[in-house]
């Protein structure tokens, strides 16, 4: 089963860029990437640019509306994601717990829909 591990962080709590703490966190991400590749579970993933680069879109009354930034008002921002293929939720949670920013943010684990179950 495929799961998406959504990485949410409060920018005020994450290590500052260029500090030893930031380098250690990034080293943890690189190590996790290699472990998931070696375990054969990594299907994809990327970090996202900051929320200030986001554009949100809605259709209201048949008209497309766009607005700068994310729609949700929250202190935690979606900063990236992984897609893993694992047997069950317990296995997905095991990998989610290895994400370095879980210690100061939130990792949301969600199964992906399978619209083509027969291959």
Task: Tell me which residue of 8, 2, 5 sits closest to 104, measured CA to CA.
Answer: 8
**Structure tokens belonging to residue 116:** 């083509």
Is residue 93 a contact partner of residue 5, using CB atoms and an 8 Å limit?
no
Q: CB-based contacts of 48: which residues, under 8 Å, 6+ apart?
A: 78, 79, 80, 81
Is residue 107 a contact partner of residue 96, using CB atoms and an 8 Å limit?
yes
- Domain 2-43+65-79+86-111: give its CATH superfamily: Dimeric alpha+beta barrel (3.30.70.1060)
pLDDT tens column, 74-116: 678 899 999 999 999 999 999 999 999 999 999 999 999 988 8
The pTM assigned to this predicted structure is 0.87
Locate the domains of the chain by residue range.
2-43+65-79+86-111
**Structure tokens belonging to residue 79:** 């900063």
């Amino acid at each position: 089963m495929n799961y998406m591990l959504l990485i949410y962080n409060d920018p005020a709590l994450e290590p500052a860029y260029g500090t030893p703490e930031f380098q250690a966190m990034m080293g943890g991400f690189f190590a996790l990437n290699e472990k998931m590749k070696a375990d054969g579970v990594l299907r994809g993933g990327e970090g996202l640019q900051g929320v200030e680069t986001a554009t949100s879109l809605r259709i209201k009354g048949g008209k497309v509306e766009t607005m700068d930034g994310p729609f949700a008002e929250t202190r935690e921002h979606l900063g990236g994601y992984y897609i893993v293929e694992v047997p069950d939720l317990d296995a997905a949670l095991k990998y989610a717990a290895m994400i370095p920013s879980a210690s100061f943010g939130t990792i949301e684990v969600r199964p992906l829909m399978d619209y083509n179950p027969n291959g």
